[in-house]
Amino acid sequence: MRNTTAIDYSRHMFDLRLLGPERVHPISRREFDRMVESGVFEEDQRIELLRGVLVELSPQGVPHSHAIQELNERLVLALVGRAKVRPQCPYAALDDSQPEPDLAVVPLQPKPAHPRRAHLLVEVADTSLRKDRGVKAGIYAENGAPEYWIVNVAEGVVEVLREPKDGAYTQEQRYGPGESIQLVAFPDVSLAVDDFLPPLGPSDSTSPAAPPAR
């Protein structure tokens, strides 16, 4: 059973026990969809629903957007006609959770709808690593997604989680530079880590070079 006694709002910890005996009402996915449709949120505001809590997504840095762009292109080219690749779109994972994974490879479906099943879910993590490992891994495993990648930008590796059971992934493997990852649902598709996650190195500087010392 997940811990529902506290919610971290980043600036402070709000202890839900302080509200007792009143009960806290988490938002359901259907309620969240109605809020979106009625225009509750601003147009440029990206919100996802995690365990009944509204979470605002952080802006993307260059490594984050680069990884999404390169990985999206390779998945689309490899899976055209066999699956849909959805970048940063709603995923109807659970009754209380509708995250927006950075990439979702989902089955082809005849009608437009937020998908409830996925072959592969991907989160690119720089500042969100704790959330992606802790909260989202549990949601995706409980949903039954067979494969979940955490593209760990800070460490230059991809954490691949597989075989969900009882709300948790039972297999984890890390892939780094020079290695390739074979998709579980599509064994003929293998992606090189170097193609979407460049090796770590000194950060490029955009400032002009200092004049030579005299």
Place of tokens 């849909």: 84
* Six token digits for residue 204: 């490029």
Return the DSSP state at 94. B
Residues 183-213: pLDDT tens digits?
999 999 999 999 999 777 654 433 344 444 4
**48 located within any domain:** yes
Q: Does 101 share its domain with 171?
A: yes
> Do 86 and 38 sit in the same domain of this protein?
no
pLDDT digits (tens, 9 = 90+) for 152-190: 999 999 999 999 999 999 999 999 999 999 999 999 999
Judge whether 74 lies within some domain: yes
Same domain, 77 and 32: no
The whole-number pLDDT of residue 201 equals: 61
What total of structural domains would you count in the chain?
A: 2
- Report pLDDT for 8: 42
Host domain of residue 11: 6-56
Q: What distance, in Å, lies between the first and last C-alpha atoms of the chain?
A: 67
Backbone angles phi, psi at 168, to 5 degrees: -150, 150
Shared-domain flag, residues 108 and 161:
yes
Report yes or no on 210 lying in a domain: no
Q: Are residues 47 and 146 in the same domain?
A: no
- Report pLDDT for 155: 94
Q: Which residues pair with 180 in a beta bridge?
A: 192
User: Is residue 69 located within the same domain as residue 28?
Assistant: no
Region for 207 from its dihedrals, namely left if φ exceeds 0, alpha if ψ lies in -120 to 50, beta otherwise? beta
Q: Output the pLDDT for position 202.
A: 55
* Burial class, 30, CB count within 10 angstroms (exposed 0-12 / middle 13-18 / buried 19+): exposed
214 belongs to a structural domain: no
Q: How confident is the model at residue 15 (pLDDT cuts 50, 70, 90)?
A: low
Could you tell me if 52 and 66 lie in one domain?
A: no
Q: pLDDT tens for residues 97-142?
A: 999 999 999 999 888 899 999 999 999 998 889 999 999 999 999 9
> Are residues 78 and 50 located together in one domain of the fold?
no
pLDDT greater at residue 86 or residue 2: 86
Confidence of residue 32 (pLDDT cuts 50, 70, 90): confident
pLDDT in tens, 42-101: 777 788 999 998 988 888 888 899 999 999 999 999 999 999 999 999 999 999 999 999
Residue 6 has pLDDT above 70, yes or no: no
The answer to the question of residue 212 being in a domain is no
In a domain, 192, yes or no: yes
